[in-house]
Structure 1
Amino acid sequence: MARHVSPLTLGLLPLSVVPSWAHADDAVKGVTLPALTVTASAPKPITVVPDLPATVETVTPTQFQNWNVVNTEDVLQYMPNLAVRKRFIGDLNSIIAVRGTSNSQSARGLVYADGMLLSNLLGNSYSFPPEWSMVSPDEIQQVSVIYGPFSAAYPGNSLGATVLITTRMPTHFQVDADIKGFTQHFNLFGVNGNFNGSETSASIGDRIGKFAYLLDVNHLENTSQPLQLGTLAKSNTPAKAADIPVTGAYFYNNQTNAPTAVLGVNGEGVEHSINDQFKLKMQYDFTPTLQGGFTLGYWHHSYNSQTSTFLHDANGNPIYSGNVNIGGYEYAIPAAEFAPSSGYSESRLYGVTLKTRNATGWNAEAIASYYDIGSSVARTANSGGSGNGPGSITFGNGTGWKTLDLKASYTPATPEAGRANHALIFGYHYDNYFLDNTTYNTLNWQDGTGSTFANAFAGKTQTQALYAQDAWRFLPRWKLVYGVRYEDWQAYDGSQAIAGARVPYSDVSDQHFSPKASLSFDLTDDLKLRASIGRAYRFPTVSELFQGQINGFSIVNNNPNLKPENDLSKELTAEWAHWNGLFRFTLFQDDVKNTIFSQTDTTVVPNVTNFQNIGEVRSRGVETSYEGSDVLVRGLDLMTSVAYTQSKILANAQNPASVGKYFYRIPLWRADLVASYHLDGRSTVTAGMHYSGRQYNTLTNTDTNPDVFGGTSSYTVADVKYTFKPSKLSEIGIGIDNLFDARYFVYHPYPGRTFYVEGKLRM
């Protein structure tokens, strides 16, 4: 008898609660057979750090192969109280939001792939997402999300969550191929059309004795829906005779309920992007317990952001700028309102690992990585509709980061009855982030060279850390996990430059200890209780410190006195293995002092907008989740969660009007559900749902009309997919995201109803 039990469930349940079934035929040729017990089994999830003192949610290909997954970040879409800011398939600005961390605080999340850090800690916004492109969904063996900064093994950037991606290596010769096509119809204001894309990927791998390799290539091309609209406040100024009469404008009430004119598609516009990925992984077993590995990743991205105007004069000519007459009133359209842009970048990831693999006793691990943005060019026109006219070019060549992690761990053998034991880890961490951007003016924005220097910005940060953690089972049902992390942080070589002036930025440094503790109690074999507390410091990034402007020979609009975010996180969790799955109930609270956020200082004249420390933000809430297999009926797998989070500003000296208000983009409610029903061994039907409740796009909560462009909507969207396996080596998938074509916004419009078709071959 075959029975599916999710790896997550088995990893968390003791063997005694895994059900078994007995079958006997009492009369076969007159012989009575003994009862036969068959126990379902599956590999336990891989744990990068043993005895994690925090909530962990895990997903495997067994689950997400039945979802609509194109990019790696899609495998996180049903994780409890977590959302991915993904505006379209292939969006580079996909960052995670979790609990009290919003989708603009990218430096509060960590993403690792096989121990290598993919988090872009050069800044703290949607412009600095993790490098998801360095992992293909087809190579994933497991993804685990660790909630909160409760483990000493991870830096203060784990304040939100830490994503651990484990990829597979082949055990025999294999060849895989995958092709996907997707399309959406999008209708909003003056846009009504189809936007299409495709993805193709292939991999080949083998294990030859002690050596294993996996080569993976991927090509993704897509055209987004309009991402941004050009708007102006509804005018009350009568038009003048010289103003050009135009038609085509649309009107609506914006997020603050102010009457607003919509003039066209601007900013990132309709983005056509092409992504190419190459990944080579190699492993060699020097001995049965000593393994080395090498990773080489290459990624090339190019994009073209097309803008368009809705406005036309009496002769049908498009109007992009200048003073115009709309309905008898004057509107002044800036020259750059509909400026298009394009660009490309090339990145490489180099990684080396060496580790021992003893089942018990001492182990050691060393991981070194280097992420090199070898080429980065962004081109922007000065105006719309001017062809290949003047513009600017920004070069980011030589930007990137390097890391080194050294770790030793001790795993005790099975202890004697009643005897205390300790599982230990010790480690050292080093990272160095460096950013160098230079902008030139050009006479031909599409393909010209830089004619004159415009500005430049550069800087570096470095962190070194030591940590130790002990998981002490001092009684059979009691375990205490406690540890401490020491971090030494520096920011240096910062500067701003304009034509004729370069101003250096003073070096700064800071050091902190971060203690952690977690106490767990196995109330029964299938009910576990845990209380965790942890201190974490999130240090400023390069961009938060060094970006700004030059006025004469001084830097303005930056903040040389930024303090690190100082967080105290607390969590109470109960996990109950029941009904072929696992229930979780969690209460959490994060008290973050000196939250780093871009806001306007209203206490000075003129007001200054830059990164500042907000005195204190408190986030607290409750999460409930369930994941199980064969729920209610045989063949039904279910993941579901509901979370409530209240995140409020308790102190903010630079913007007193925000005190007592809800923090930026933290929804009060989140709910997710995905159910996969295996019709038989070849067919699976999946239905999913995402709900996000009320949230605010301003610190003062003045956006009272959220469900429009510029606002942040409450939304409910549904997804479906049908998967069919014609043979053991082939698979066909047909899916729909946003089934009911909901129109919703997180400032940008999000995709409409999107259709997927997919074909896979395995050898």
Structure 2
Amino acid sequence: MGPGLAGAQVAAPEPLQEVVVSAKSDRSETPGTPPNTPSPAYGISSARMADFNVVNPEDALKYAPNLAVRKRFIGDINSIISVRSTSSRQSARGLVYADGLLLSNLLGSDFTFPPRWSLVNAAEIERIDVLYGPYSALYPGNSLGATVLISTRTPEKFEGDASVQLFTQRFGLYGTHENFNGFHANAYVGDRVGAFSYLVSVDRQGSTSQPLSFYTAARSTTRAGSADKPVTGAFFDKDQTGADRVVMGVNSEGVTHTIQDQLKVKLGYDITKTLQAQFTAAYWQQNRSSTTGSYLRDAAGNVVSNGNVNIGGNRYVIPANAFAPSNGEDARWLYGLSLRTRNQTGWNFSGTASLFDVSKDISRTANTAGTGPGTVTFGDGTGWRTLDLKADHRPENLPGGHWFTFGYHYDNYRLSNTTYNTSDWQAATLTAFNNAFAGKTETQALYAQDAWYFAEDWKLIPGVRYEHWRAYDGSRSQPGVNLGYPERSKSNWSPKLALEKAFGQDWLARLSLGQAYRYPTVSELFQGRITGTSLINNDPNLKPERSFSKDLTFERTLDASHLRLSLYEDDIHDALVSQTNTTVFPTVTSFQNVDRVRTRGIELAYDARDLFISGFDLAASGAYNHSKTLENAKNPTSVGKYFYRIPQWRANLVGTYRITPAWAGTLAMTYSGRQYNTLDNSDVNPDTFGGTSSFLTFDVKLTYRPARNVRLGLGIDNVTDQRYYVYHPYPGRTFYAEAKVSF
């Protein structure tokens, strides 16, 4: 039997729960995944994470099958999961939990609404599990892409950990050729004293990104006049559509510098031998600034950032805000309280409540390249709260009988943004109201799921989820205009069904079917622009996404290896996408419903320990995704085209050789194939700023343990220094050095 089978301790979701499962009931589960999971799964332990260059929690998923994390630099808080039929701009199609507490930011669905990874310290992670697809009734329709379950440590004795990491990259593109550096330090301490346990962690990170955005203009054909200032320093290339353009400097997010701090406390108390309470409080803050700069110089060598200029004999008009810098501060609180029972058989109950509060969210942006007026945006008071109640009954005679689970879920999301004009953008001296938008969404759900062992080696997992969603208190304001929107509500049933068949002790086949609804977020509904008295570029009447997903998986589990082959299809109606409605004049770009998108794919994943020789571990995966827009009345040119930001091919290969008990080396490869950044596939030149590249990268890491409690590491990501893009350029060759002491 494979690892984690008979007698294993496995974790159940929301909150995690220790259960004992037999060989046949557990044969479908990779170690650590919840029992009776009707989904393909991937898991990684903290011991395996030590073999990779991991700075932030999301780095642990960098080699997961058919999954990518859009992380543009170390310290990037906009790290979005892309998996199967979900692109890297559809953040609301993914769920991330830490010890049952929701980290997913479902206030919107784009790169500015990523999971709040920063509220987990990478050093406290015990393991991470990924469940693919919306096949479990225990999770809402946002699981359409994947559900990520992070399990953190619960100390059983006194322990601690302290580490320091340094990293640097040399990056060259256009007129930028510099080193960009950073550091990361964290520590935790924990203990159990009788029935009481605690874990306290601190984390600090400082990083500077490579340039993320550049100011560009289409190649001009207008001859310059005598009043146009001659400049040098521009770069000529082609944009993502193949059109000629001029690159004039670093703008927008530019070179982003961040300082991030985190403090987290987790307290546990065993009320009885089978009843446990847990409280979590986490605080995270960040100071950020974006440095911009023009490449253009006049005849005297002075920087030119705006006005009419002469580049190569042609006129270009650079607006005053082309190279406007920005900065800001952020602070977040996460509170969680859970109560659970841990009976080996019979009934178990759990309750988990969480509160995520944005206590500070200030963004300042200049109107010009220097000091002076600008705007400041406040997002304070935004956040969400959740409540999950769950009960399950495990029969004593497994495998056999029914394992019932049922529960209730509640979530409430609130979003509030207000922007003011300011006479001094750095001091944020407010002068006048500019605009505001706000809104709330609420979802209540009831669910039930059964694992029925109706015959030897057979298991049926039927489930159903009922959800009632409403959006309310939506508003949009500009000077002299305040628009409110009526309350909306919708209810849906989402049936699920999975059938498993075991073949001998090693093989298992599972067919999973699932209906899922992903409801619009506050930002998609109300974050529009007012013209006159109308909201013209958002639709407060958006429909929910509706998916019918299917998965056929075959797995083989041995003592030292696991093999999985999965075929899947996601057929999605009313997909929520930011697109241009080309059937109206003038055209409107906003979040809209795309009538139908279908993705079919195949995944192969293999994981082995001590392969060929003792001490050599290998993980390999490959995936093919065929994702196309089948119907889209608002943008007919996209019909029949590949859906955006889903590569046709993905592959990972990771080998670790434990040379001696003290020395280990890892070599990893990641491949991502052709993908598009537009629905109509007009970006025919992907390997440039603004494009979305295919890429093949290599990472290495060498680890040395001079003592049992000391670990030293040297690593390199992107060894070949490939220049590749996800609209923004990804990092260049990055070097890591780390030291860690455990006690």
Q: TM-score normalized by structure 2?
A: 0.96
Amino acid at match of 1:307: T
Amino acid at match of 1:570: K
- The answer on 1:687 being equivalent to 2:667 is yes
- The answer on 1:11 being equivalent to 2:25 is no
Question: Which string of whole-angstrom CA distances, capped at 9 and with x for unpartnered residues, describes residues 330-368 of structure 1?
Answer: 111121111000001111001000000001110000000
Instruction: Specify the structure having the higher radius of gyration (Cα).
Output: 1
Contact preservation (8 Å) 2:3, 2:31: no
**1:746 equivalent in structure 2:** 726
Structure 1 distance, partners of 2:97, 2:486, is 32
Contact preservation (8 Å) 2:32, 2:43: no
Q: How does 1:730-741 map to 2 (within 5 A)?
A: 730-741=710-721
**2:681 equivalent in structure 1:** 701
Amino acid at match of 1:10: P
The 3-state SS of whatever aligns with 1:544 is helix
Amino acid at match of 2:153: R
Deviation at 1:175, TM superposition (A): 2.2
- The answer on 1:591 being equivalent to 2:571 is yes
Aligned equivalent of 1:226, options 198, 208, 211: 211
**2:389 equivalent in structure 1:** 406
Deviation at 1:449, TM superposition (A): 2.3
Aligned equivalent of 1:547, options 527, 536, 542: 527
The 3-state SS of whatever aligns with 2:271 is strand
Q: CA RMSD in A?
A: 1.3
Contact preservation (8 Å) 1:579, 1:631: no
**2:543 equivalent in structure 1:** 563
Question: Which string of whole-angstrom CA distances, capped at 9 and with x for unpartnered residues, describes residues 409-449 of structure 1?
Answer: 1111134xxx8411110010000000000000001001132
Question: Which string of whole-angstrom CA distances, capped at 9 and with x for unpartnered residues, describes residues 493-519 of structure 1?
Answer: 000011122110121111000000000
Q: How does 1:482-631 map to 2 (within 5 A)?
A: 482-578=462-558, 580-631=560-611
Aligned equivalent of 2:136, options 151, 156, 163: 151
Mark the runs of 5 or more structure 1 residues left unpaired by the alignment.
16-43
Contact preservation (8 Å) 1:432, 1:462: yes
**2:249 equivalent in structure 1:** 264
**1:179 equivalent in structure 2:** 164
Amino acid at match of 2:439: G
Structure 2 distance, partners of 1:558, 1:297, is 34
**1:311 equivalent in structure 2:** 296
Aligned equivalent of 1:168, options 133, 141, 153: 153
Deviation at 1:476, TM superposition (A): 1.2
The 3-state SS of whatever aligns with 1:561 is coil
**2:350 equivalent in structure 1:** 365
**2:13 equivalent in structure 1:** none
**1:343 equivalent in structure 2:** 328
Contact preservation (8 Å) 2:283, 2:331: yes
Amino acid at match of 2:572: V
Deviation at 1:93, TM superposition (A): 0.5
Structure 2 distance, partners of 1:497, 1:227, is 31
- The answer on 1:119 being equivalent to 2:104 is yes
**1:382 equivalent in structure 2:** 367
Question: Which string of whole-angstrom CA distances, capped at 9 and with x for unpartnered residues, describes residues 292-340 of structure 1?
Answer: 0000000001100000100011111111111110000011112111100
The 3-state SS of whatever aligns with 1:59 is strand
Contact preservation (8 Å) 1:13, 1:526: no
Question: Which string of whole-angstrom CA distances, capped at 9 and with x for unpartnered residues, describes residues 106-159 of structure 1?
Answer: 000000000010000000000000000111111111100000000000000000
Contact preservation (8 Å) 1:13, 1:577: no
Q: How does 1:198-277 map to 2 (within 5 A)?
A: 198-277=183-262
The 3-state SS of whatever aligns with 2:473 is strand
**1:53 equivalent in structure 2:** 38
Structure 1 distance, partners of 2:85, 2:430, is 43
Q: Which moved more, 1:703-712 or 1:182-191?
A: 703-712
- The answer on 1:330 being equivalent to 2:323 is no
Amino acid at match of 2:419: T
Q: How does 1:643-722 map to 2 (within 5 A)?
A: 643-722=623-702
Contact preservation (8 Å) 1:186, 1:751: yes
Runs of 4+ residues over 2 Å off in structure 1 = 11-15, 44-50, 577-580
- The answer on 1:397 being equivalent to 2:380 is yes
Amino acid at match of 1:569: S
Structure 2 distance, partners of 1:579, 1:263, is 58
Contact preservation (8 Å) 1:46, 1:142: no
Structure 2 distance, partners of 1:62, 1:627, is 15
Deviation at 1:50, TM superposition (A): 2.2
- The answer on 1:472 being equivalent to 2:472 is no
Contact preservation (8 Å) 2:615, 2:659: yes
Amino acid at match of 1:161: A
**2:340 equivalent in structure 1:** 355
Deviation at 1:673, TM superposition (A): 1.2
Contact preservation (8 Å) 2:220, 2:314: yes
Structure 2 distance, partners of 1:669, 1:296, is 40
The 3-state SS of whatever aligns with 1:107 is helix
Deviation at 1:192, TM superposition (A): 0.2
Deviation at 1:450, TM superposition (A): 1.4
Structure 1 distance, partners of 2:705, 2:391, is 44
Amino acid at match of 1:242: A
Deviation at 1:712, TM superposition (A): 0.6
Contact preservation (8 Å) 1:579, 1:628: no
Q: How does 1:85-96 map to 2 (within 5 A)?
A: 85-96=70-81
The 3-state SS of whatever aligns with 1:471 is strand
- The answer on 1:434 being equivalent to 2:414 is yes
Contact preservation (8 Å) 1:457, 1:496: yes
The 3-state SS of whatever aligns with 1:54 is coil
Structure 1 distance, partners of 2:702, 2:500, is 41
Q: Which moved more, 1:232-241 or 1:153-162?
A: 232-241
Structure 2 distance, partners of 1:102, 1:74, is 18
Deviation at 1:560, TM superposition (A): 2.2
Q: How does 1:36-75 map to 2 (within 5 A)?
A: 49-75=34-60
1:647–1:45 CA distance, 2 compared to 1 (3 A): closer
Amino acid at match of 1:272: H
Structure 2 distance, partners of 1:214, 1:642, is 38
Structure 2 distance, partners of 1:528, 1:505, is 51
Contact preservation (8 Å) 1:183, 1:194: yes
Structure 2 distance, partners of 1:49, 1:195, is 41
Q: Percent identity?
A: 54
Contact preservation (8 Å) 1:14, 1:526: no
Structure 2 distance, partners of 1:250, 1:12, is 60
Q: TM-score normalized by structure 1?
A: 0.94
The 3-state SS of whatever aligns with 2:237 is strand
Amino acid at match of 1:413: E
Amino acid at match of 1:501: V
Structure 1 distance, partners of 2:60, 2:69, is 10
Deviation at 1:12, TM superposition (A): 5.5
**1:462 equivalent in structure 2:** 442
Structure 2 distance, partners of 1:317, 1:616, is 53
Question: Which string of whole-angstrom CA distances, capped at 9 and with x for unpartnered residues, describes residues 195-254 of structure 1?
Answer: 000001111111100000000000000000000111001111101111111000001111
Question: Which string of whole-angstrom CA distances, capped at 9 and with x for unpartnered residues, describes residues 668-720 of structure 1?
Answer: 00001111111111111011111000000111111111111111111000000
Deviation at 1:533, TM superposition (A): 0.4
**1:25 equivalent in structure 2:** none
Structure 2 distance, partners of 1:45, 1:744, is 34
Q: Which moved more, 1:45-54 or 1:457-466?
A: 45-54
**1:19 equivalent in structure 2:** none
**1:109 equivalent in structure 2:** 94
Amino acid at match of 1:473: Y
Deviation at 1:557, TM superposition (A): 1.0
The 3-state SS of whatever aligns with 2:377 is strand
Deviation at 1:48, TM superposition (A): 6.6
